[in-house]
Amino acid sequence: MVQADVTVSRQPLFSESQRLTQPWVWILVVLIALLAFWSFIQQIVFNQPFGGNAAPDWLLWTLLAAFGVGLPTVLAMARLDTRVYRDRIHLRYVPFASKSISLDMIESVEAREYRPLREYGGWGLRWSPWAGSAFTVSGKHGVQLVLQGGRRFLIGSQQAEQLAGAIKKAQSH
């Protein structure tokens, strides 16, 4: 019987996974990757210097690895996993960071529309002196938490109302 209670308490009350879906981000990443591949192919494979003041070969290898392979791979893997449990909210921004927020630390919860560029300078793992911290992936909806001490934390969500409801439900237990 105790084992069943432990299992139930480990089941999330809310679960959401979000990926980077903005087309403009992917267009930019593909263009950067293509430029890295083209410069590499021209200079290393065809032995034709890329540009008037060609970079050394080692730099083209590095740029190819970082921007031709690394950046697209990291962005393809990137996602924000949000889980609400009976005692905490667990956020995992793969492959960058994770954070757990105890429900005891939360003073208020509000689903809201926000302005990513104006309030946080964009999406991702963000911090702003006037808006606080944020874990966001895309869109303009999220849940604003006010933590003890007045610290603000925004969780981006495509299901902001449901997320806020799950947090409030977990707090009431």
What's the length of the chain?
A: 173
Structure tokens at 3: 């084992």
pTM given for the model = 0.83
CA–CA gap between residue 78 and residue 18 (Å, rounded): 9
pLDDT exceeding 70 applies to what percent of the chain? 95
Average pLDDT score over residue span 21-31? 92
Q: Which CATH number fits domain 80-171: 2.40.30, 1.25.40, 1.10.3210, 2.30.29?
A: 2.30.29
Distance between CA atoms of residues 86 and 12, nearest Å? 8
Find out whether 102 and 115 touch, Cβ atoms under 8 Å: no
**Cα–Cα distance between 61 and 45 in angstroms, integer?**
11
Identify the pLDDT of residue 9: 58
Give residue 21's pLDDT: 84
Amino acid type, 118: R
Nearest to 170 by CA among 150, 143, 149, 139: 143
Distance CA 91, CA 67 (A): 27
Quick: pLDDT tens for 110-152: 999 999 999 999 999 999 999 999 999 999 999 999 999 999 9
Give residue for tokens 């969500």.
157
Provide the residue ranges of all domains of the chain, joining segments of one domain with +: 21-77, 80-171
Distance, CA of 138 to CA of 142 (rounded, Å): 10
Task: Give φ, ψ of 157 to 5 degrees.
Answer: -155, 140
Give the pLDDT of residue 10.
81
Q: Mean pLDDT throughout 52-74?
A: 95
The tokens 């065809």 sit on which residue? 46
